[in-house]
């Protein structure tokens, strides 16, 4: 297991290198002069030129990339063009908020999808099954931006149960939950739609296996058949999909952070792209990539505990 | 337990049972945390707990909703509107603008100017202190303006200054080789405010991020990134503009500038009462806020020009008759209704009627090119562009009357583009409209690839502040400037020079009128509308005499000294 983890960590290096090359290329070839955008429409040309030199824009893109890479390897992600602050500091300030939102969104996804999928499969073709699938398609089709606005209108404005936007309260306190719940629901329910359907089909496949028939034939109770013998086996492909959902959860937070004024990395990235703040774009995408890679590693390790046949030794 | 390779993992401490047990304990811990207390108390996450909106229940906290993020509190940094809304509460300027819209001494007790406007002597008030306790002295002004000349994009406000010196403790002298009569007016800008140079030196490159020190009615307390900036009352402040009811200290204990990027969310926060006021009112929500039982809305037609810049170097817009035809083809009221939900006013002169030194309306009506599609068609015929039926694309020597029309991807600009495209098509233009994001758009304009582009200029309160950056030959877009018409007219340049440097007010005014007449004749730009500014606020908020100033959206002119809760 340890060797497997080390191998996976080493593989991350070329992956991250590839990600940084792609994102840096996109950022450098994007039209628009960052110095001009930073100084605004009315800036005089001399001021724009001076800022270009300061930002290193007079150097070729590959030189700028190599310099950035060398510094990033030493933990220095550069300085924001817009604010003049260290990119690392900007990210560290906002990372906890994004992790909180993504974690709660993932929990909501799992709490919705797994039980619903199991119930649907066990009661195939019943009204429970049909209703669950209807919900699944509904959540899958719902644009998260629109869902967020509707949740605000209903629960915050009309009924006044939750705050409209923002982030407040100590982690895991009631106040904190009141702020994080609506954005997490808006982020997580879309992913839940897909997972519900997969959980259902995976359960149906397992429930039709011979060993399940054998278990029932031996007189094992229905609950034990489902929870002990079926769910765990049905989870195997579902865990794979959960790993694939993680980057989608994070990308979903970008829009939701705007709608709910949640002060996370997504808003930092959106603003940086609009302002052509190259160092912030590169640093933020790098951090997102690291999070996704580590999350997928965690999922793969979890795999080995769900399925004892899987070993990384 | 044996795995598929025949190896026993009974002794492996990281077995499934242990993992499940750890997971179960973690879940219990999570639930225990949920059953703990709520977040009251200082949590460093944007407020003092309570109702979670950052309000201190023991004090008067005014929450200003911001639809765009502040990037720096350094007045010599990026000159963006959300920056100036925030930092203007921390700082004062030597001059402010009074109710008659004239420069009015503020940090200055008295001043002298020689006849030629080449030497200014400012005598500072002696009762002003910075937030860090240092007194405002002449060296503060000298240091601030030298820094401004070094690094500020707004350094042009000081003009071609040759020397700035502290003659004595409270006496500042500024000297010019050439006349610069506009100095006192320019010193009313929030970007010309005075800084504590001790704070600037202490903070170094970080000034404006974690430290910002001025003499204003509020002090910088803290900045919760992407959430809010908190200012607290300056208890020592008593030197507010004397034309205000309250000259200080402020009635408010704190101001929070709360950043809410999504416009509908900001509107909701205002109507439910979590935001006390905001200038970021979406045009399609203006009526809803005005009619809501919890809120009110103040509107003001403001000198902020929205226009089409016509590239005079590129066919067919290099022909003045084609440019006049474009102006006649546009129904400005229809554009206002479609693009701004009626929250703007049509203009025929590039300098809006509410600007200082705007041409008289009767003269504008005589020389302008108002909506008249038949006249547009006549002009195009005269220019040699013909068609056989109405609505068909006009041609000349086998070539179509095609124009490349660019618009910003921001909603209102895109809508202006879409609406005017249809109007131009109806008189025979073949319009290729592209809605572009800012970076791409500026590249296109600098390459002079456009015929027409949507544009707006917020600094239109004084005619010169609009005309110089947008039409001066020294500011051609092809050389990195903001003259997107690429209009290189020496007669116009002469008028600008007079308006900028003549010591006589009457000469400067006449030059501005002549410049506007030339624009009406040559049509390098087609004026469309002036913006209506809004302020939405809770009914419980008492705004005093805020709206008595004709330029009340310029919040640095009154610092919210009138506001009470």
Is residue A244's pLDDT more than 50? Answer: yes
Strand partners, B301: B532
Average pLDDT score over residue span A95-116: 93
Predicted pLDDT at B53: 55
Dihedral sign (CA B270, B274, B280, B284)? negative
Spatial neighbors of A169 by CB under 8 A, at least 6 apart, are A175, A176, A177, A178, A179, B38, B39, B43, B45, B49, B52
Q: How far apart are CA B16 and CA B272, in angstroms?
A: 50
Predicted TM-score (pTM) of the model is 0.85
Identify which of B258, B78, B107, B80 has the alpha carbon closest to the alpha carbon of residue B195.
Answer: B107
Residue A220 pLDDT = 75
| Segment 209-248 of chain A within 8 Å of chain B by CB | none
* pLDDT over 90 at B212, yes or no: yes
Integer Cα distance of B240 and B547 in angstroms: 17
Q: Do B440 and A176 lie within an 8 Å CB cutoff?
A: no
Q: Say which residues have a Cβ less than 8 Å from residue B344's Cβ, sequence separation at least 6.
A: B283, B306, B336, B529, B530, B531, B532
Q: What is the mean pLDDT of chain B?
A: 89
pLDDT at B419: 95
* Other residues' Cβ atoms within 10 Å of the Cβ of residue A174: 16
Q: Do A166 and B46 touch (CB under 8 A)?
A: yes
CA of residue B76 relative to chain centroid, distance: 15
Average pLDDT over residues A276-300: 87
Q: How far apart are the first and last CA of chain A?
A: 5
Domains and CATH numbers, chain A: 96-306 (1.10.3720.10)
> A100: cis peptide before it, omega within 30°?
no
Instruction: Give tens-digit pLDDT for B58-114.
Output: 689 999 999 988 889 999 988 888 888 999 899 999 999 999 989 999 999 999 999
The pLDDT tens digits for B290-342 are 999 999 999 999 999 999 999 999 999 999 999 999 999 999 999 999 999 99
pLDDT tens digits for A118-169? 989 888 899 989 988 898 898 888 898 999 999 999 999 999 999 999 999 9
**Are B478 and B486 contacting, i.e. CB atoms less than 8 angstroms apart?**
yes
Q: Which residue among B9, B261, B469 sits closest to A261, beta carbon to beta carbon?
A: B261
Q: Is the pLDDT of residue A271 over 90?
A: no
ipTM summary value: 0.84
Q: In whole angstroms, what separates CA B329 from the centre of its chain? A: 30
**SS3 per-residue string spanning B222-268:** EEECCCEEEEEECCCCCCCCCCCCCCCCCCCCEEEEEECCCHHHHHH
Angstroms from B419 CA to nearest CA on chain A: 24
Examine the pLDDT at B47 and tell me if it is beyond 90.
no
Closest CA to A162 of A140, A180, A137, A139: A180
Could you tell me which chain B residue has the CA closest to the CA of A267?
A: B226
Average pLDDT, chain A: 86
- Whether the pLDDT of residue B462 is over 50: the answer is yes
Q: What is the DSSP string of A35-69?
A: HHHHH-TT--HHHHHHHHHHHTTTS-HHHHHHHHH
pLDDT at position B38 is 37
Peptide bond into B316 cis (omega under 30): yes
**Residue % of chain A over a pLDDT of 90:** 29
Contacts for B209 with CB less than 8 Å, ≥ 6 apart: A83, A84, A85, B72, B73, B74, B203, B223
Report the first-to-last Cα separation within chain B, whole angstroms.
71
Contacts of A47 in chain B (CB under 8 A): 153, 155
Judged by CB atoms closer than 8 Å, whether chains meet at A94 and B225 is answered as yes
Q: Does B6 touch chain A (CB under 8 A)?
A: no
CB–CB contact A90 B206 (8 Å): no
Touching B: A residues 66-125, CB under 8 Å = 82-85, 90, 93-94
Percent of chain B with pLDDT over 70: 90
pLDDT in tens, B388-416: 888 799 999 999 999 999 999 888 899 99
What would the pLDDT profile of A188-240 be if each residue is shown by its tens digit? Answer: 988 898 889 999 998 888 888 888 888 878 887 777 777 777 787 888 888 88
Dist CA B458 CA B21 (whole Å): 63
Q: Are B8 and B1 in contact (CB under 8 A)?
A: yes
pLDDT of residue A273: 85
Q: Are A293 and A12 in contact (CB under 8 A)?
A: yes
pLDDT digits (tens, 9 = 90+) for B519-538: 999 999 999 999 999 999 99
A305 touches B: beta carbon within 8 Å: yes
Q: Residue B129, SS3? A: strand
- Predicted local confidence at residue A234, as pLDDT: 83
List all residues of chain B from 257 to 286 with a beta carbon under 8 Å from chain A. 258-262, 264-265, 268-269, 271-272, 274
pLDDT confidence tier of residue A110, bands split at 50, 70 and 90: very high
Q: How many CB atoms lie within 10 A of CB A92?
A: 11
A65-90 pLDDT per residue, tens? 888 889 888 889 988 887 888 999 99
The shortest CB-CB distance from A38 to any of B4, B45, B78 is to B78
Residue B450 has pLDDT above 60, yes or no: yes
CA distance B131 to B234: 7
pLDDT value at residue A310: 67
Burial B53-67 (b: 16+ CB within 10 A, else e): bbbeeeebbbbbbbb
Outline where DSSP puts E strands in B95-245.
95-97, 103-105, 108-113, 119-124, 161-168, 171-176, 218-224, 228-233
* Arithmetic mean of pLDDT, B355-363: 94
Helix (H) or strand (E) holding B416: helix B411-426
């Amino acid at each position: 297991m340890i060797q497997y983890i080390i191998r996976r960590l080493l593989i991350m290096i070329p992956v991250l290198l590839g990600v940084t090359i792609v994102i840096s290329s996109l950022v450098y070839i994007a039209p628009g002069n960052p110095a001009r955008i930073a100084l605004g429409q009315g800036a005089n040309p001399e001021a724009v030129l001076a800022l270009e030199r300061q930002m290193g824009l007079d150097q070729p893109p590959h030189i700028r990339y190599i310099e950035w890479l060398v510094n990033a390897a030493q933990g220095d992600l550069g300085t924001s063009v817009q604010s003049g602050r260290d990119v690392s500091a900007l990210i560290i300030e906002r990372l906890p908020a994004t992790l909180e939102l993504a974690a709660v969104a993932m929990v909501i996804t799992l709490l919705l999808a797994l039980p619903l999928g199991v119930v649907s499969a066990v009661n195939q073709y019943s009204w429970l099954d049909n209703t669950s699938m209807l919900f699944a398609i509904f959540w899958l089709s719902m644009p998260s931006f629109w869902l967020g606005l509707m949740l605000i209108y209903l629960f915050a404005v009309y009924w006044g149960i939750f705050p409209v936007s923002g982030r407040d309260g100590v982690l895991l306190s009631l106040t904190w939950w009141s702020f994080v719940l609506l954005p997490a629901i808006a982020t997580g329910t879309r992913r839940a739609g897909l997972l519900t359907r997969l959980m259902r089909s995976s359960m149906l496949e397992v429930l039709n296996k011979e060993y399940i028939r054998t278990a029932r034939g031996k007189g094992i109770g229905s609950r034990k058949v489902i929870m002990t013998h079926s769910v765990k086996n049905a989870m195997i492909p579902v865990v794979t999909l959960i790993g694939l959902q993680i980057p989608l959860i994070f990308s979903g937070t970008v829009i939701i952070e705007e709608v709910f004024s949640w002060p996370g990395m997504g808003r930092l990235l959106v603003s940086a792209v609009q302002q052509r703040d190259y160092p912030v774009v590169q640093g933020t995408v790098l951090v997102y990539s690291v999070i996704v890679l580590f999350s997928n590693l965690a999922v793969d390790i979890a795999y080995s505990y769900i399925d004892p046949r899987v070993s990384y030794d | 337990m044996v795995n598929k390779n025949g190896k026993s993992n009974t002794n492996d401490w990281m077995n499934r049972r242990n993992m499940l047990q750890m997971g179960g304990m973690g879940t219990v811990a999570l639930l225990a945390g949920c059953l703990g207390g709520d977040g009251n108390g200082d949590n460093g996450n944007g407020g003092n707990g309570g109702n979670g909106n950052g309000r201190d229940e023991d004090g008067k906290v005014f929450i200003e909703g911001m639809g765009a993020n502040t990037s720096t509190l350094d007045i010599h940094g990026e000159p963006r509107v959300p920056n100036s809304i925030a930092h203007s509460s921390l700082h004062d300027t030597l001059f402010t603008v009074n109710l008659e819209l004239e420069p009015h001494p503020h940090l200055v007790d008295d001043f002298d100017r020689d006849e030629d406007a080449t030497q200014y002597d400012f005598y500072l008030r002696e009762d002003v202190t910075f937030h860090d306790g240092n007194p405002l002295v002449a060296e503060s002004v000298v240091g601030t303006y030298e820094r401004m000349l070094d690094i500020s994009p707004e350094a042009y406000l000081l003009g071609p200054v040759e020397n700035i010196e502290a003659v004595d403790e409270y006496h500042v002298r500024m000297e010019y080789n050439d006349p610069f009569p506009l100095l006192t007016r320019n010193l009313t800008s929030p970007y010309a405010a005075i800084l504590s140079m001790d704070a600037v030196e202490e903070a170094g490159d970080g000034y404006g991020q974690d430290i910002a020190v001025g003499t204003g009615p509020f002090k910088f307390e803290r900045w919760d990134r992407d959430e809010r900036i908190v200012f607290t009352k300056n208890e020592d402040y008593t030197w507010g503009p004397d034309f205000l009811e309250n000259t200080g200290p402020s009635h408010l204990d704190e101001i929070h500038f709360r950043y809410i990027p999504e416009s509908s969310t900001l509107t909701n926060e205002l109507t439910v009462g979590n935001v006390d006021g905001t200038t970021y009112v979406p045009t399609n929500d203006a009526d809803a806020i005005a009619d809501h039982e919890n809120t009110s809305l103040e509107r003001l037609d403001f000198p902020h020009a929205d226009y089409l810049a016509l590239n005079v170097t590129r066919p067919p817009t290099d022909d003045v008759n084609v440019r006049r035809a474009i102006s006649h083809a546009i129904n400005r009221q229809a554009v206002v209704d479609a693009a701004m939900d009626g929250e703007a006013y049509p203009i025929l002169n590039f300098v809006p009627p509410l600007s200082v030194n705007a041409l008289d309306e009767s003269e504008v009506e005589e020389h302008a090119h108002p909506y008249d599609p038949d006249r547009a068609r006549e002009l195009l015929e005269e220019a040699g562009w013909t068609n056989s039926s109405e609505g068909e694309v006009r041609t000349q020597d086998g070539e179509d009357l095609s124009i490349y029309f660019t618009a910003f991807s921001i909603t209102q600009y895109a809508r202006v583009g879409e609406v005017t495209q249809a109007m131009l098509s109806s008189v025979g233009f073949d319009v290729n409209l592209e809605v572009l994001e800012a970076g791409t758009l500026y590249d296109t304009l600098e390459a002079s690839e456009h015929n027409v582009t949507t544009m707006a200029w917020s600094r239109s309160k004084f005619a010169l502040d609009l005309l110089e950056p947008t039409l001066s030959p020294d500011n051609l877009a092809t050389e990195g400037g903001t003259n997107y018409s690429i209009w290189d007219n020496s007669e116009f340049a002469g008028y600008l020079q007079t308006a900028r440097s003549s010591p006589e007010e009457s000469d400067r005014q006449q030059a501005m009128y002549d410049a506007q007449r030339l624009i009406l004749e040559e049509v390098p730009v087609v004026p469309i509308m002036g913006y209506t500014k809004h302020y939405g606020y809770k009914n419980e908020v008492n705004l005093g005499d805020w709206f008595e100033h004709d330029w009340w959206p310029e919040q640095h002119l009154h610092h919210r000294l009138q506001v009470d809760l």
